[in-house]
Amino acid sequence: MIKRVFRRICVFSGSRDGYNPAYLQAAHDLGATLATQNVELVYGGGSMGLMGAIADSTLSYGGRAIGVLPEFLATEKLAHKGLNKVFVTQDMHTRKAKMAELSDAFIAMPGGLGTFEELFEMVTWAQLGVHAKPIGLLNTNRFYEPLLNLIEHAIQAGFIHETHRQLMIADQDPSGLIEQLQKQPELDLPKITDLDQT
């Protein structure tokens, strides 16, 4: 089996800590895993919540962290000050495109609306064949179980094609998740224009 090689992974995560300390611990563990595997972190460039925690952890284990911020979030208060590189984009759209361009894979950690939006844009781009990069969910505390159930529900209701179930891989363990993403074979997805209604 050919394993994919990741130079950079983009991580979407909450700008808050979450109530359960397991979430901060997971950000710490994922940052440490990226650093020790020599994979650069690409993320939203913030200093707060799980975003700040994963960047701090990556850096403290000797890894590299790249922030991509839109102008209006690149402030003294919000931006992380210790990053190896920062890209400031004009707006949120160019920010997401830049994060996608820089990265070989995507991981969504627990988070809120911003995290969901970023995750789903990458999934819908994959669904349409805009990119073929693996997408993972770090399923700490089974955080993503309701989302996976919702997707299953939408498949059963005929709104998501069942082959698109493969677009997201979930794992509770950071290194287990990265390994699954590395081993993901090239997906043979139907072209959206060829999908029938069954």
Residues found near ligand AMP in the complex (CB under 6 A)? 12-16, 44-46, 48, 51, 69, 73, 78, 111-115, 118
Contact yes or no for 159/129 (Cβ under 8 A)? no
Q: Which is nearer to ligand AMP, 102 or 155 (CB)?
A: 102
Nearer to ligand AMP, 14 or 31 (CB): 14
State which residue, 49 or 134, has the beta carbon closest to ligand AMP. 49
d(Cα 17, Cα 13) in Å, to the nearest integer? 10
Sequence-distant (≥ 6) Cβ neighbours of residue 97 within 8 angstroms: none
Phi, psi dihedral angles at 103 (to 5 degrees): -110, 155
CB of 75 to ligand AMP, least distance (A): 9
CB 152 within 8 A of CB 124: no
C-beta of 67: minimal distance to ligand AMP in Å? 8
What order do you get walking across the sheet with 8-12 strand by strand? Answer: 85-89, 65-70, 40-43, 8-12, 105-108, 135-138, 169-171
Distance CA(93)–CA(78), nearest Å, equals: 19
> Shortest approach of ligand AMP to residue 89 CB, angstroms?
11
Max Cα-Cα span within the chain? 52
Supply the minimum distance, in Å, between the C-beta of residue 173 and ligand AMP: 21
Find the residue with minimal CB distance to ligand AMP: 114
Nearer to ligand AMP, 116 or 158 (CB): 116
CB 12 to ligand AMP: min, Å: 4
By beta-carbon proximity to ligand AMP, the closer residue of 93 and 165 is 93
Distance between CA atoms of 175 and 30, rounded to whole angstroms?
A: 7
